[in-house]
Amino acid sequence: MMKRITIAGGGLAGLSAGIALAERGVPVMLCEAGSYPRHRVCGEFINGVDQGTLEVLGIADILGTARLLSSTTWFVGDERVYDAMLTEPAIGVSRHSLDERLAERFVARGGELKEKARVEKKEEEGLVWAAGRQADRESGWIGLKVHARDMATVADLEMHLGTAGYVGTARVEGGRVNICGLFRRQRGIGGKGVELLLNYLRENGLEDLRGRMELGDLDSAAFVGVSAFRLGRQVRDGLCRVGDAESIIPPFTGNGMSMAFEAAETAIDPLVEFSEGNASWGETVSGIEARLEKRFAKRLFTARFLHPLFFRELGRMMLASSARSGVLPFQFLFKSLR
Q: What is the pLDDT of residue 1?
A: 85
| pTM tops 0.85 | yes
Domains defined for the chain, CATH in brackets? 5-63+73-134+230-308 (3.50.50.60)
3-state percent breakdown (helix, strand, coil) of the chain, nearest 5: 40, 25, 35
Quickly list DSSP for 305-324.
HHGGGGGSHHHHHHHHHHHH
| 3-class secondary-structure state, position 142 | strand
pLDDT of residue 236: 79
Give me the pLDDT at residue 134, please: 73
Distance from C-alpha of 101 to C-alpha of 99, rounded to nearest angstrom: 5
DSSP string covering 159-221, please?
A: EEE-SSEEEEEEE-GGGEEEEEEEEE--TT---STHHHHHHHHHHTT-HHHHHHHHHSEEEEE
**Residue ranges for the chain with pLDDT beneath 50:** none
pLDDT at 321: 83
Among residues 58, 21, 11, the alpha carbon closest in space to that of 269 is found at 21
Strand partners, 74: 82, 159
Question: CA 293 from chain center: how many Å?
Answer: 18
Chain segment 168-181, per-residue pLDDT in tens: 999 999 999 999 99
Q: Do residues 112 and 199 touch, judged by C-beta distance below 8 A?
A: no
Q: At residue 156, what is the residue type?
A: D
Whole-number Å distance between alpha carbons of 240 and 236: 9
